[in-house]
Chains A and B, each alone.
Chain A
Amino acid sequence: MDITLRVWRQTGPSDRGRMVTYEVKDVSPDASFLEMLDVLNERLILEGDEPIAFDHDCREGICGMCGMMINGVAHGPERATTTCQLHMRHFKDGDTIDVEPWRAAAFPVVKDLVVDRGAFDRIIQAGGYITAPTGAAPDAHATPVPKADADAAFEAATCIGCGACVAACPNGSAMLFTAAKVGHLGLLPQGQPERDSRVVGMVAAHDEAGFGGCTNTGECTTVCPKGIPLTLIGRLNSDYRKSRSGRGR
C-alpha cells in the first residue's frame, strides 16, 4: 500500500519545527508503524536526508519508550495498543497520516518525534516507591494480600510510563500516570505507611513539573495502551483529601 505521511520535523529544542510531507510506497500491511518509519528512514539516509528521530526500544509494547500522535490520537487508532504494536493493516491504501510528537510543556521536544519525559521520573522520586532497604524484608508470606487487592494493584502497576495520557489530556495533565502509581502502592499493605506522604509528594511534583490540572475529562484512559482505569484518579483524590485534612492514616 502507498501512504502519505506528514511528519513533524524539528532539529532541536530551539528550532520552530514544521510538518513535512513524505510519500511512502509499497508499505507492507504486516509492517508495524515503526517499521514503516524504518523503511522511510532507510530511504532518507540514502537520499542524503536526515532520518526521522523517534524513540523506541522493546518494540513489543512494554518499555513505554515509543509514542507519537497519529492523526491526533496518542499511539494511533487502535485501542490499548502502543505505536510499536500498531500495524499498517489498520490503515488504507492512499491514506494521509499526520504524525506529531507528544505535546506538553513538561515534555519538551528533543528532536522530531522525541520528547523528554524526565518529569515522570521526578514524580516517582517524590514518593512513588516503598521504602524497603535491601535485606530488611520479612518472609514474603508474612503478610497475605487479598487476591482482589493484589489484582487491582497489579492492574494499576501495568502503567508503562509512555506519556500518552499526558499527550491526549486536553489539560496536559499527568494525573492518570500519577494515580496509577499511587493506586498500585496504596492498594498493598506494604504501601500503607507512606500512603499519605506519597500522594501529597507526588501531586506536588506533578504540579511542579508543569502538568495541567485534571478535570476528569477521561481522554487519558481512552488512549492508555494499558487501559489504566479512570477510577484510580478518584482514589488518588480521596487519598489526597484525607491526607491533607489529617484524616489519613
Chain B
Amino acid sequence: MAASGLLLVLFLFAHMAGNLKIFVGAASFDHYAHWLRDIGTPLLPRTWYLWIQRVGLTAAVVAHIASAVVLARRARAARPVRYAHRPKVQGSYAARTMRWGGVIILLFVVFHILDLTTGTLNPIGDAQHPYANVVADFAPSRWYVTLFYTLAIVAVGFHLRHGIFSALRTFGQQSPRGERRARAIALVLSVVLVVGYLSVPFAVLTGLVS
C-alpha cells in the first residue's frame, strides 16, 4: 500500500513539474511532451520510455487498488454488524475518506486520460499540441471541467495528506516529534501539489495562460 502509494506520489510530483512548464510557454510545454516520448532514445526506441512508465504506473495503481480492496474487505469482515448510531469522525477527516477519495481519483484519472492523453474527450484532442488541448480544456465556457478537475485535485490533496502521513508511519516513524514532523510534511506536500496542479486550470480560466 504505502510503497505503491509513494510511487504514485513521485509520479504526481514529476507530472506537476511538467505541467508547470505551461507557464513558460506553449513551445516549452509541447516540447516537454515530445521530450517525454524521446527519453531514452537512441538506447530505447521512441515512446518506449513512456510506455515503461505507463506500465509501471499501471502496476502501481493496480497494486495500490488491490491492497486497498484487501484492506477494505478485511475491515468489512472485521465489523460485520454496523453501529446503529454511526460513530462520528473523531480522528481526521482526511483519514476517514481514503477509500471514497481513492475511487474519485481513479474515476478522474480515467476521464483525464481520455481527455488529455488520448484526446477523446478533448475539444481539440491534438496529441501533437498538448498546450492547446489544455487551454481549450479549461476555457471559461467549459467551467464544469475546471470544477471537476478542482474537486478531483482537492480529493487528491486530502488523500495525500493522510496517505503520506500514513506511509511514513508505516515505514516506522514513531516518536512524538516524528509524528508532528510527519503530519507537517504530509500537509506541506499536499498543499504544494494542490496549488501546483490547480494553478494550471485557474491560470487558463483567468486568461493568464491562453
Question: Which positions in A face B, CB cutoff 8 Å?
Answer: 6, 8, 19, 69, 71-74, 98, 100, 103-106, 168, 170-173, 210-213, 215-219, 221-223, 229-235, 237-239, 241
CB distance from A228 to the nearest CB of B (A): 13
Q: A19-B84, A222-B91, A229-B176 are in contact. Are A234 and B169 (CB under 8 A)?
A: yes
How many A-B pairs have beta carbons closer than 8 Å: the answer is: 119
A219–B81 touching, CB < 8 Å: no
B78–A212 touching, CB < 8 Å: yes
B169–A216 touching, CB < 8 Å: yes
Query: Which one of A73, A98, A218 has the greatest number of beta carbons of chain B within 10 Å?
Result: A218
Q: How many residues of B contact A (CB 8 A)?
A: 37
Which of A69, A74, A100, A235 meets B172, CB within 8 Å?
A235
Question: Which positions in B face A, CB cutoff 8 Å?
Answer: 1, 70-71, 74-75, 77-92, 95-96, 98, 162, 165-166, 169-176, 178-179
A215–B84 touching, CB < 8 Å: no
CB distance from A166 to the nearest CB of B (A): 8
A-B contact pairs, 6 of them (CB 8 A): A72-B88, A73-B87, A172-B78, A172-B79, A216-B169, A217-B91
Which of B78, B88, B169 meets A233, CB within 8 Å?
B169
Which of B81, B82, B86, B96 meets A217, CB within 8 Å?
B96
A237–B78 touching, CB < 8 Å: no
Q: A71-B85, A72-B87, A234-B173 are in contact. Are A215 and B179 (CB under 8 A)?
A: no
A216–B166 touching, CB < 8 Å: yes
**Which B residues lie within 8 Å of A223 (CB)?**
90
Given contacts A69-B85, A170-B87, list 19 more A-B pairs with CB under 8 A. A19-B84, A72-B83, A74-B87, A100-B84, A168-B87, A172-B75, A210-B77, A212-B78, A213-B71, A217-B95, A219-B95, A221-B91, A230-B179, A232-B174, A233-B169, A234-B178, A237-B170, A237-B172, A237-B174
